[in-house]
Structure formats: structure tokens, C-alpha cells
Structure 1
Amino acid sequence: MHSESVPRIICTTVLIEKSPQALPLGAACIASALKHNAATAGKYDVVLASVSAEDADYEAAVRSGGEARLIAGKLLDSGVPAVVCFSVYVWNRSVLERTAEEVKRRYPQIVCIAGGPEITADPFSGTSFDYTVAGEGETAVPELVALIASARTENTK
């Protein structure tokens, strides 16, 4: 359950299809790490959210060029998170970059972090994101989130 006093982190991706084999594994691993790492455990409401390219509303949004707006709306419909972590693959890179831009357009204070195979291959190319994490993010993302929170706390003193 989300509490306004506990910052929310959303871990997300776009799946290429609906099937028992199409799972948001990368995003789920990061969500689990955020829930269990000593630096972040219990400090955040961590939510896993995914969209399938085969969802009817997604297919309609693609036809109108609004898939990034659709995804951003789904991510933000239950409140404004502190952080959105994107799991980026070759098939969803473009739409997730546009989604991060849309999230930042609506709420500039949201921190957008990207990781996954496409980011690992070229970590400096994800300019739509505030931070990119190359390699396995299960340790790096919780540490990065803790550093961001620490810096924000220092800036408010």
C-alpha cells in the first residue's frame, strides 16, 4: 500500500508480447533488490509495472503516435513517484526514451534511471534519462537511489 510519506519507486518495461515467457524479469530483479538492499529496504514503496506491446490500448496508441503518453499516464495514474527505473531492451528503447521525456515533462522532479541490455551496450546514449546503469543493476541501482536521496536531504538542510 502506498503512503504519501513513503516515496514511491516504479520499476517498469515494455514487453514485446503477452505470453508465459514474456516476463518483466529485469525490472522485477531491480524491484526486488530495492526492497531488500540495506540502503533502500523499507524506505520506499516499490512497484513493478509493465505494459505489453500487445495490449489493445497500446496498439491503439501506437497507431496515433501516443504510446509514450499512454505509458507515462499508466505510470503516474496512482500518484507521482520519486523515481522511475526503466528496463531497456532493443525492442522498447525508443518508446521508453520518449516515455522518460514525457514523465519529465509532466513532473521534472521525478528521477528517471535506465538500465538493461541496451543501456549496458551504450550507457552514454540514453540522454532522456537522468542516470544510466551499465551491467547488473541489483547492487548499483539501490546504491544510486540512496545517493540521490542523500543528496536531496543535504540540499534541503
Structure 2
Amino acid sequence: MLPLVLALAACGVTGTAPIPGGPAASGLPDHDSDARVAVHLYFYSPDGLERVSRPYRGPDPVATALRYLATGPDAAEQARGLVSYAPHDAPDVEATDTMGALRVLAPEGWQPSSALRQLVCTAADAESGAQGTPLQKVRVTVVRPPGATSVQTCTP
């Protein structure tokens, strides 16, 4: 028995000092709290669609992201050359989520394909974050006047 103990004691493992760690685990985030997170919007740069972040607090990330999108790029984003093709004078976009199916009612003014692409990517990104679904798998049903419907995904 003694030879076995001596063999195990000499296995080459040396002692180490304590290793500092981060904060203690606190569990899953509380989605009912006022924790600040971000929503992501899509504006155009000379290279194509670019994702930007805005602060978010509340129960409806899709509606919040679409309201931000309608206001256009802020001053810092404009200074970086970002532009929006979303109409500034159009009525609010309505979005509903029924069991993972995102439906967006796009009023007049959202017809140009560039504006629709911004709309779809912004809505899909917000839905992706809320549901934990990969962005490319979120399908957005876009309803435009006079009732034309198309199912789209975000391809930035």
C-alpha cells in the first residue's frame, strides 16, 4: 500500500496559489426586471446594411426597435455615414408575434426595397434576441397596402 501512496504523491502535480475569479454566478436574468439591454437597428452605409445598437428597456423589443428605426440614424451614426431609407412621415409600423410567427404591417411609404430590407432586418433582429432564434431563421411576414403579403428573412 505504501508504494502506491508514494507513487501517487509523486505524480508531478505541483501546488498552485488561488486563482482569482469573476463575480459569483447569479442565475438566469430576470426578464421582468428593469435591466437595460439593447435592440439593434439596420441603417445603410456605403458598404451595405450596418447593424447599430440602441438602449432598450421594456416588454416589447420589436416595437421599440421599429420606433427607433423610424427616427433614423442619430447624429453620431450620421457622422459615420449611415443613412436610412425608412419614411419619416409614415404611420407607425405594427408588429405582432403569434407563437414565433412575426407579422409586420408596413404602411404606405415602406415600398422601396431598401426601406423594406431595413424594416425586415430590424424586426427580425429584435425577434431573434427576444426568442433566442438565429437571425437568419426568423421569418417576417410583411403585409403592405393594399394587402400584398410576402415572407422574408434578413440577409444583411
More helix by share: 1
Question: Please, what TM-score do these two structures have when normalized by structure 1?
Answer: 0.31
- Quick one: higher RCO (CA 8 Å, sep 6+), 1 or 2? 1
Question: Please, what TM-score do these two structures have when normalized by structure 2?
Answer: 0.31
Larger Rg: 2
